[in-house]
Structure 1
Amino acid sequence: MNDSLTQVLINYGPFIFLFAAGWFFGSRHERQHLAQLTVAEQALGDITVSSERFYRPELAVGSEGALVLGSVVIAQDYFKMIIARVLSLFGKNLTTYETLLDRARREAIVRMRTQAKAKGYTHIYGVRLEVTNINQLGSMVEAIAYGTAVISTDHTPIVSATHTSPARVPSALPSIS
Protein backbone atom coordinates (compact mmCIF):
# COMPACT_ATOMS: atom_id res chain seq x y z
CA MET A 1 0.00 0.00 0.00
CA ASN A 2 2.81 2.38 0.87
CA ASP A 3 4.58 1.63 -2.40
CA SER A 4 1.49 2.46 -4.48
CA LEU A 5 0.93 5.75 -2.62
CA THR A 6 4.58 6.67 -3.10
CA GLN A 7 4.35 5.82 -6.78
CA VAL A 8 1.22 7.99 -7.21
CA LEU A 9 2.94 10.91 -5.46
CA ILE A 10 6.03 10.53 -7.62
CA ASN A 11 3.98 10.34 -10.83
CA TYR A 12 1.36 13.02 -10.13
CA GLY A 13 2.91 15.12 -7.37
CA PRO A 14 4.83 17.53 -9.63
CA PHE A 15 1.76 18.08 -11.82
CA ILE A 16 -0.45 18.77 -8.80
CA PHE A 17 2.18 21.07 -7.28
CA LEU A 18 2.62 23.07 -10.49
CA PHE A 19 -1.14 23.27 -11.00
CA ALA A 20 -1.66 24.59 -7.45
CA ALA A 21 1.24 27.04 -7.77
CA GLY A 22 -0.16 28.35 -11.07
CA TRP A 23 -3.57 28.86 -9.50
CA PHE A 24 -2.15 30.63 -6.44
CA PHE A 25 0.27 32.98 -8.18
CA GLY A 26 -2.01 33.69 -11.16
CA SER A 27 -4.96 34.56 -8.91
CA ARG A 28 -2.77 36.72 -6.70
CA HIS A 29 -1.39 38.62 -9.70
CA GLU A 30 -4.87 39.17 -11.12
CA ARG A 31 -6.20 40.49 -7.79
CA GLN A 32 -3.23 42.87 -7.51
CA HIS A 33 -3.80 44.15 -11.06
CA LEU A 34 -7.52 44.72 -10.42
CA ALA A 35 -6.69 46.61 -7.21
CA GLN A 36 -4.16 48.78 -9.07
CA LEU A 37 -6.75 49.52 -11.75
CA THR A 38 -9.31 50.57 -9.13
CA VAL A 39 -6.82 52.96 -7.52
CA ALA A 40 -5.81 54.41 -10.91
CA GLU A 41 -9.45 54.86 -11.97
CA GLN A 42 -10.19 56.75 -8.77
CA ALA A 43 -7.09 58.94 -9.19
CA LEU A 44 -8.15 59.81 -12.75
CA GLY A 45 -11.82 60.27 -11.84
CA ASP A 46 -11.78 63.99 -12.60
CA ILE A 47 -11.49 63.28 -16.34
CA THR A 48 -14.93 62.70 -17.85
CA VAL A 49 -15.11 59.99 -20.50
CA SER A 50 -17.94 59.71 -23.02
CA SER A 51 -18.51 57.16 -25.74
CA GLU A 52 -20.85 59.50 -27.61
CA ARG A 53 -19.42 60.58 -30.91
CA PHE A 54 -20.96 64.05 -30.97
CA TYR A 55 -20.87 64.87 -27.27
CA ARG A 56 -19.74 68.47 -26.98
CA PRO A 57 -18.79 69.72 -23.54
CA GLU A 58 -18.55 73.48 -23.01
CA LEU A 59 -15.02 74.14 -24.22
CA ALA A 60 -12.55 76.53 -22.69
CA VAL A 61 -11.46 79.47 -24.84
CA GLY A 62 -8.78 78.35 -27.29
CA SER A 63 -9.22 74.66 -26.49
CA GLU A 64 -8.61 72.33 -29.39
CA GLY A 65 -9.29 68.63 -29.55
CA ALA A 66 -6.46 66.13 -29.58
CA LEU A 67 -6.27 62.40 -30.05
CA VAL A 68 -5.43 60.47 -26.89
CA LEU A 69 -5.01 56.73 -26.78
CA GLY A 70 -4.05 53.95 -24.46
CA SER A 71 -3.04 50.46 -25.46
CA VAL A 72 -2.18 47.31 -23.58
CA VAL A 73 -1.42 43.66 -24.23
CA ILE A 74 -2.48 41.27 -21.48
CA ALA A 75 -1.89 37.53 -21.35
CA GLN A 76 -3.70 34.90 -19.36
CA ASP A 77 -1.89 32.52 -17.05
CA TYR A 78 -1.70 28.83 -17.95
CA PHE A 79 -3.92 27.74 -15.07
CA LYS A 80 -6.81 29.84 -16.36
CA MET A 81 -6.21 28.59 -19.90
CA ILE A 82 -6.61 25.01 -18.68
CA ILE A 83 -9.77 25.89 -16.74
CA ALA A 84 -11.22 27.65 -19.80
CA ARG A 85 -10.52 24.60 -21.99
CA VAL A 86 -12.25 22.29 -19.51
CA LEU A 87 -15.26 24.62 -19.15
CA SER A 88 -15.59 24.98 -22.92
CA LEU A 89 -16.05 21.21 -23.19
CA PHE A 90 -19.20 21.54 -21.08
CA GLY A 91 -20.49 24.68 -22.80
CA LYS A 92 -19.98 26.91 -19.78
CA ASN A 93 -19.36 30.66 -19.88
CA LEU A 94 -15.68 31.41 -20.16
CA THR A 95 -15.48 33.73 -17.17
CA THR A 96 -11.70 33.53 -17.23
CA TYR A 97 -11.71 35.03 -20.74
CA GLU A 98 -14.26 37.67 -19.69
CA THR A 99 -11.98 38.70 -16.82
CA LEU A 100 -9.04 38.97 -19.22
CA LEU A 101 -11.05 41.24 -21.55
CA ASP A 102 -12.27 43.35 -18.63
CA ARG A 103 -8.74 43.88 -17.35
CA ALA A 104 -7.49 44.80 -20.84
CA ARG A 105 -10.30 47.31 -21.46
CA ARG A 106 -9.91 48.95 -18.06
CA GLU A 107 -6.12 49.20 -18.40
CA ALA A 108 -6.41 50.74 -21.88
CA ILE A 109 -8.88 53.36 -20.62
CA VAL A 110 -6.67 54.15 -17.63
CA ARG A 111 -3.69 54.67 -19.94
CA MET A 112 -5.77 56.88 -22.23
CA ARG A 113 -6.94 58.97 -19.26
CA THR A 114 -3.35 59.21 -17.99
CA GLN A 115 -2.24 60.59 -21.35
CA ALA A 116 -5.09 63.12 -21.33
CA LYS A 117 -4.29 64.24 -17.79
CA ALA A 118 -0.58 64.64 -18.62
CA LYS A 119 -1.56 67.00 -21.46
CA GLY A 120 -3.99 68.96 -19.25
CA TYR A 121 -7.29 67.80 -20.79
CA THR A 122 -10.48 67.41 -18.73
CA HIS A 123 -12.89 65.57 -21.05
CA ILE A 124 -12.57 62.74 -23.55
CA TYR A 125 -15.39 62.05 -25.95
CA GLY A 126 -15.94 59.75 -28.89
CA VAL A 127 -14.15 56.97 -27.00
CA ARG A 128 -13.78 53.73 -28.92
CA LEU A 129 -12.31 50.41 -27.89
CA GLU A 130 -10.65 47.87 -30.14
CA VAL A 131 -9.95 44.44 -28.70
CA THR A 132 -8.08 41.79 -30.67
CA ASN A 133 -6.88 38.27 -29.95
CA ILE A 134 -3.16 38.10 -30.56
CA ASN A 135 -2.61 34.36 -30.61
CA GLN A 136 -4.76 31.43 -31.71
CA LEU A 137 -5.24 30.09 -28.19
CA GLY A 138 -7.09 33.24 -27.10
CA SER A 139 -4.79 33.62 -24.13
CA MET A 140 -3.44 37.02 -25.15
CA VAL A 141 -5.43 40.12 -26.10
CA GLU A 142 -4.57 43.65 -27.16
CA ALA A 143 -6.91 46.49 -26.24
CA ILE A 144 -6.69 50.01 -27.64
CA ALA A 145 -8.84 52.85 -26.31
CA TYR A 146 -8.85 56.17 -28.15
CA GLY A 147 -10.88 59.35 -28.18
CA THR A 148 -10.84 63.11 -28.60
CA ALA A 149 -9.62 65.01 -25.54
CA VAL A 150 -10.55 68.63 -24.86
CA ILE A 151 -10.25 71.18 -22.07
CA SER A 152 -13.72 71.99 -20.79
CA THR A 153 -15.02 74.67 -18.44
CA ASP A 154 -17.88 72.42 -17.38
CA HIS A 155 -16.88 70.04 -14.59
CA THR A 156 -20.35 68.89 -13.58
CA PRO A 157 -20.75 65.11 -13.37
CA ILE A 158 -22.71 63.52 -16.19
CA VAL A 159 -25.40 61.07 -15.16
CA SER A 160 -26.53 59.88 -18.58
CA ALA A 161 -26.13 56.17 -19.31
CA THR A 162 -23.95 56.94 -22.32
CA HIS A 163 -21.40 58.87 -20.28
CA THR A 164 -19.26 57.81 -17.38
CA SER A 165 -19.37 59.74 -14.19
CA PRO A 166 -16.05 61.15 -13.08
CA ALA A 167 -15.85 58.51 -10.36
CA ARG A 168 -16.07 55.38 -12.49
CA VAL A 169 -14.92 54.05 -15.85
CA PRO A 170 -17.23 51.43 -17.36
CA SER A 171 -15.67 48.08 -18.05
CA ALA A 172 -17.93 47.38 -20.99
CA LEU A 173 -17.80 50.27 -23.43
CA PRO A 174 -18.67 49.21 -26.96
CA SER A 175 -15.89 47.24 -28.56
CA ILE A 176 -15.21 46.46 -32.16
CA SER A 177 -13.49 43.19 -32.92
Structure 2
Amino acid sequence: MFSTNQSINLIRPSKQLVIVDVPKPFDLPDGTPSFKDYTGCRENRYINPEKASKNRIYPPSNTLHYWNCPPDFSANELCQIFVDCDAKPPSRIAEFPTASERSSSGLIEWNSVADAVAALAFTNHYSIPYPKGRFPFIMKLSFSNAPVQDRSYPGSRKSNNYDMKKPISSSSESSYR
Protein backbone atom coordinates (compact mmCIF):
# COMPACT_ATOMS: atom_id res chain seq x y z
CA MET A 1 0.00 0.00 0.00
CA PHE A 2 1.19 3.52 -0.66
CA SER A 3 1.33 6.30 1.91
CA THR A 4 -1.14 9.15 1.57
CA ASN A 5 1.53 11.67 0.53
CA GLN A 6 3.32 9.41 -1.94
CA SER A 7 3.30 10.33 -5.61
CA ILE A 8 4.73 8.99 -8.81
CA ASN A 9 7.20 11.32 -10.44
CA LEU A 10 7.48 9.44 -13.71
CA ILE A 11 5.77 6.38 -15.11
CA ARG A 12 6.42 5.17 -18.61
CA PRO A 13 6.61 1.88 -20.46
CA SER A 14 10.00 0.16 -20.38
CA LYS A 15 12.32 0.65 -23.33
CA GLN A 16 13.76 -2.84 -22.84
CA LEU A 17 12.58 -5.45 -25.31
CA VAL A 18 13.47 -8.41 -23.09
CA ILE A 19 14.09 -9.14 -19.43
CA VAL A 20 17.65 -10.27 -18.81
CA ASP A 21 19.20 -11.98 -15.80
CA VAL A 22 21.09 -9.76 -13.41
CA PRO A 23 24.62 -11.20 -13.22
CA LYS A 24 25.35 -9.82 -9.75
CA PRO A 25 22.18 -9.38 -7.68
CA PHE A 26 22.56 -7.43 -4.46
CA ASP A 27 20.48 -6.98 -1.33
CA LEU A 28 18.18 -3.98 -1.11
CA PRO A 29 18.10 -1.84 2.06
CA ASP A 30 15.20 -3.91 3.44
CA GLY A 31 17.21 -7.14 3.02
CA THR A 32 15.32 -8.50 0.00
CA PRO A 33 17.23 -9.49 -3.13
CA SER A 34 17.36 -7.01 -6.02
CA PHE A 35 16.59 -9.79 -8.52
CA LYS A 36 14.73 -13.09 -8.37
CA ASP A 37 14.21 -15.58 -11.19
CA TYR A 38 10.56 -16.70 -11.48
CA THR A 39 11.07 -18.79 -14.63
CA GLY A 40 10.01 -22.07 -13.03
CA CYS A 41 7.27 -20.62 -10.80
CA ARG A 42 3.84 -22.18 -11.38
CA GLU A 43 2.29 -18.69 -11.21
CA ASN A 44 4.28 -17.62 -14.29
CA ARG A 45 1.69 -16.74 -16.95
CA TYR A 46 4.27 -17.05 -19.74
CA ILE A 47 5.76 -20.46 -18.88
CA ASN A 48 4.53 -21.99 -22.14
CA PRO A 49 2.79 -20.79 -25.32
CA GLU A 50 -0.57 -22.20 -24.20
CA LYS A 51 -0.58 -20.16 -20.98
CA ALA A 52 0.77 -17.07 -22.73
CA SER A 53 -2.01 -17.18 -25.34
CA LYS A 54 -4.61 -16.74 -22.57
CA ASN A 55 -3.19 -13.36 -21.56
CA ARG A 56 -4.78 -10.25 -22.95
CA ILE A 57 -1.93 -7.82 -23.25
CA TYR A 58 -2.78 -4.24 -24.17
CA PRO A 59 -0.55 -1.17 -24.18
CA PRO A 60 -1.18 1.54 -21.58
CA SER A 61 -4.36 3.49 -22.27
CA ASN A 62 -6.63 5.89 -20.40
CA THR A 63 -9.16 3.07 -19.81
CA LEU A 64 -8.80 0.31 -17.23
CA HIS A 65 -10.83 -2.87 -16.90
CA TYR A 66 -11.69 -3.62 -13.25
CA TRP A 67 -13.00 -6.90 -11.87
CA ASN A 68 -13.40 -8.90 -8.68
CA CYS A 69 -15.31 -6.20 -6.78
CA PRO A 70 -18.31 -6.82 -4.49
CA PRO A 71 -21.59 -7.34 -6.39
CA ASP A 72 -23.25 -4.34 -4.73
CA PHE A 73 -20.24 -2.06 -5.21
CA SER A 74 -21.16 1.52 -6.19
CA ALA A 75 -19.39 3.99 -8.48
CA ASN A 76 -18.93 6.26 -5.47
CA GLU A 77 -17.14 3.51 -3.52
CA LEU A 78 -14.95 2.73 -6.52
CA CYS A 79 -13.95 6.38 -6.92
CA GLN A 80 -13.24 6.67 -3.21
CA ILE A 81 -10.64 3.88 -3.46
CA PHE A 82 -8.67 5.91 -6.01
CA VAL A 83 -8.93 9.07 -3.91
CA ASP A 84 -7.85 7.18 -0.75
CA CYS A 85 -4.80 5.82 -2.60
CA ASP A 86 -3.80 9.29 -3.88
CA ALA A 87 -4.73 8.61 -7.49
CA LYS A 88 -6.91 10.96 -9.50
CA PRO A 89 -10.56 9.92 -9.58
CA PRO A 90 -11.77 8.58 -12.92
CA SER A 91 -13.77 10.73 -15.31
CA ARG A 92 -16.18 7.92 -16.31
CA ILE A 93 -17.21 4.47 -15.12
CA ALA A 94 -19.23 1.83 -16.98
CA GLU A 95 -20.29 -1.24 -15.03
CA PHE A 96 -20.74 -4.49 -16.93
CA PRO A 97 -24.00 -6.39 -16.55
CA THR A 98 -23.59 -8.90 -13.76
CA ALA A 99 -23.46 -12.47 -14.99
CA SER A 100 -23.74 -13.64 -11.41
CA GLU A 101 -24.30 -12.13 -8.00
CA ARG A 102 -20.77 -13.09 -6.95
CA SER A 103 -18.80 -10.04 -8.13
CA SER A 104 -18.88 -6.94 -10.31
CA SER A 105 -16.68 -5.57 -13.08
CA GLY A 106 -16.53 -2.84 -15.68
CA LEU A 107 -14.48 -0.13 -17.35
CA ILE A 108 -13.00 3.00 -15.79
CA GLU A 109 -11.76 5.95 -17.84
CA TRP A 110 -9.39 8.81 -16.98
CA ASN A 111 -8.64 11.99 -18.92
CA SER A 112 -5.06 10.89 -19.63
CA VAL A 113 -2.99 7.74 -19.97
CA ALA A 114 -0.66 9.00 -17.21
CA ASP A 115 -3.58 9.27 -14.74
CA ALA A 116 -4.74 5.74 -15.59
CA VAL A 117 -1.21 4.33 -15.20
CA ALA A 118 -0.84 6.01 -11.80
CA ALA A 119 -4.27 4.72 -10.71
CA LEU A 120 -3.31 1.18 -11.73
CA ALA A 121 0.03 1.42 -9.89
CA PHE A 122 -1.57 2.76 -6.70
CA THR A 123 -4.70 0.59 -6.52
CA ASN A 124 -4.22 -2.73 -8.33
CA HIS A 125 -4.92 -5.61 -5.90
CA TYR A 126 -6.63 -3.27 -3.43
CA SER A 127 -8.38 -5.23 -0.66
CA ILE A 128 -12.08 -4.34 -0.38
CA PRO A 129 -13.68 -5.46 2.91
CA TYR A 130 -16.88 -7.46 2.41
CA PRO A 131 -18.91 -7.93 5.62
CA LYS A 132 -21.37 -10.28 3.86
CA GLY A 133 -18.62 -12.82 3.11
CA ARG A 134 -15.71 -14.48 4.82
CA PHE A 135 -13.01 -12.86 2.72
CA PRO A 136 -12.37 -9.42 1.22
CA PHE A 137 -12.51 -8.85 -2.51
CA ILE A 138 -9.16 -8.09 -4.15
CA MET A 139 -9.84 -5.55 -6.90
CA LYS A 140 -7.88 -6.24 -10.06
CA LEU A 141 -7.07 -3.78 -12.83
CA SER A 142 -5.65 -4.05 -16.33
CA PHE A 143 -5.43 -1.82 -19.37
CA SER A 144 -8.33 -2.05 -21.79
CA ASN A 145 -8.40 -1.59 -25.54
CA ALA A 146 -12.06 -0.50 -25.41
CA PRO A 147 -13.04 3.00 -24.24
CA VAL A 148 -16.08 3.62 -22.05
CA GLN A 149 -18.99 4.07 -24.45
CA ASP A 150 -21.81 6.61 -24.16
CA ARG A 151 -24.36 3.87 -23.60
CA SER A 152 -25.47 1.44 -20.96
CA TYR A 153 -24.70 -2.23 -21.31
CA PRO A 154 -27.90 -4.17 -22.05
CA GLY A 155 -29.09 -6.49 -19.33
CA SER A 156 -27.52 -4.64 -16.45
CA ARG A 157 -29.53 -4.49 -13.26
CA LYS A 158 -28.50 -0.91 -12.58
CA SER A 159 -27.83 2.29 -14.47
CA ASN A 160 -24.18 1.76 -15.10
CA ASN A 161 -22.54 4.57 -17.04
CA TYR A 162 -21.40 7.34 -14.72
CA ASP A 163 -19.89 10.65 -15.72
CA MET A 164 -17.69 11.71 -12.81
CA LYS A 165 -17.54 15.47 -13.34
CA LYS A 166 -18.34 16.47 -9.76
CA PRO A 167 -16.00 15.91 -6.81
CA ILE A 168 -16.91 12.79 -4.86
CA SER A 169 -16.95 14.47 -1.49
CA SER A 170 -19.59 17.01 -2.52
CA SER A 171 -22.03 14.74 -4.35
CA SER A 172 -24.18 11.76 -3.63
CA GLU A 173 -24.12 8.70 -5.88
CA SER A 174 -27.43 9.66 -7.45
CA SER A 175 -25.82 12.77 -8.96
CA TYR A 176 -23.49 10.55 -11.03
CA ARG A 177 -26.35 8.82 -12.84
TM-score range, shorter chain: under 0.3
Q: Which is richer in helix?
A: 1
Provide TM-score, normalisation by structure 2.
0.26
